[in-house]
């Protein structure tokens, strides 16, 4: 099955992980249950955070799902194919996004699709955890409305660098992104420049925690530099606004700040927004940098 073009990159990561999960379990097909298992492995996804926000314990859901998904010896060279129910779930996710007037199909719409299908292991474990379709659909719809407001409000701010909506660490990350983009002769900063800026802006205690885990931040910074140096150089001599993709990331970061009742965008909001709005190169760079979503609460 060819995945719909409107699927977010994080949603595509979830589909890929579902396929890998099914293959590791010796299954010929990956099903809706494998899709939910993949989402539960992505704490940076909105679907994961919805479950936690609604009082469900993702670890408990995963344990219950583990009991229901069969496991057989993995077979070398066998890659699981998509099942008919999983294909239906992806198409249903597209319909959920369309019904809510949202252009990008994310993991939250995949979650709605699982609830709407009312069948299979994924639906049962979600229902057992008290996750309701109507309430979840309303929540996702309301967040979409907030997102449109965030984009309207943040666009003028990021265009003229009125950074009053950013806390110190987030402002520092963007300043590093601007400096690095300028050093490469660019006229705009991109989401990849933001990844580099976030690494540079990490507070000392977070850097120390990463070092204790064996993360070599200098080497990770160089890896991002290498990716950025391969980008074509924009025209020189212009001002340094964000490009369209970086502006989208910052607008989404503002939405994330609102969701947690924050008065300013924090560094963790920028990183989570990069996960949700960045492309595959951004996602890979974040993973390579050691900035895992599970650590981000320590930045709040």
pTM for the full model? 0.63
Q: pLDDT tens for residues 228-262?
A: 665 444 333 334 778 888 888 887 787 777 766 55
DSSP 149-160: HHHHHHHHHHHH
Q: pLDDT tens for residues 183-221?
A: 877 778 888 888 888 888 887 767 777 777 777 777 766
Determine the distance from the C-alpha atom of residue 181 to the mean position of all C-alpha atoms in its chain, rounded to a whole number: 23
CA distance linking residue 191 with residue 166, whole number of Å: 17
Burial of 203 (0-12, 13-18, 19+ CB in 10 A): middle
Class of domain 9-131: mainly alpha
CA distance linking residue 146 with residue 162, whole number of Å: 21
Start-end ranges of CATH 1.10.1780.10 in the chain?
9-131, 145-299
Higher-confidence residue of 92 and 293: namely 92
User: Looking at the chain, which runs of residues are DSSP E strands?
Assistant: 29-30, 81-82
Element (H, E) at 14: helix 9-24
Q: pLDDT tens for residues 75-121?
A: 777 789 999 999 999 999 999 998 988 777 889 999 999 999 988 89
Say which residues have a Cβ less than 8 Å from residue 261's Cβ, sequence separation at least 6.
none
* Fold adopted by 145-299: Double Clp-N motif (1.10.1780)
Query: Averaged over 261-283, what is the pLDDT?
Result: 79
> Could you tell me whether strands 29-30 and 81-82 are parallel, antiparallel, or unpaired per DSSP bridges?
parallel
Which pLDDT belongs to residue 300? 46
- Per the CB < 8 A criterion, the answer to whether 226 and 110 are in contact is no
């Amino acid at each position: 099955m060819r995945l719909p073009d409107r699927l977010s990159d994080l949603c595509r990561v979830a589909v890929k992980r579902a396929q890998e999960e099914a293959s590791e379990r010796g299954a010929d097909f990956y099903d809706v249950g494998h899709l939910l298992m993949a989402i539960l492995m992505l704490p940076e996804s909105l679907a994961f955070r919805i479950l936690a926000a609604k009082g469900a314990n993702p670890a408990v859901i995963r344990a219950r799902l583990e009991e229901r998904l069969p496991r057989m010896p993995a077979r070398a060279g066998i890659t699981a194919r998509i099942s008919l129910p999983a294909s239906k779930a992806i198409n249903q996710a597209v319909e959920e996004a369309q019904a809510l007037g949202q252009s990008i199909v994310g993991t939250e719409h995949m979650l709605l699709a699982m609830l709407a299908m009312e069948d299979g292991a994924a639906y049962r474990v979600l229902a057992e955890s008290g996750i309701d379709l109507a309430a979840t659909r309303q929540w996702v719809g309301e967040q979409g409305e907030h997102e449109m407001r965030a984009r309207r409000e943040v666009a003028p701010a990021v265009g003229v660098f009125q950074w009053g909506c950013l806390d110190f660490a987030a402002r520092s990350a963007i300043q590093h992104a601007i400096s690095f983009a300028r050093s490469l002769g660019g006229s705009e900063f991109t989401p990849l420049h933001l990844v580099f800026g976030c690494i540079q802006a990490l507070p000392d205690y977070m850097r120390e925690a990463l070092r204790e885990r064996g993360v070599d931040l200098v080497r990770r910074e160089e890896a991002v530099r290498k990716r950025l140096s391969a980008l074509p150089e924009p025209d020189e001599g212009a001002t340094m606004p964000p490009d369209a993709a970086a502006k989208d990331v910052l607008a989404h970061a503002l939405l994330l700040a609102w969701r947690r009742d924050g008065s300013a965008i924090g560094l963790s909001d920028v990183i989570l927004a990069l996960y949700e709005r960045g492309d595959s190169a951004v996602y890979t760079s974040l993973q390579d940098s050691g900035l895992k979503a599970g650590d981000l609460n320590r930045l709040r």
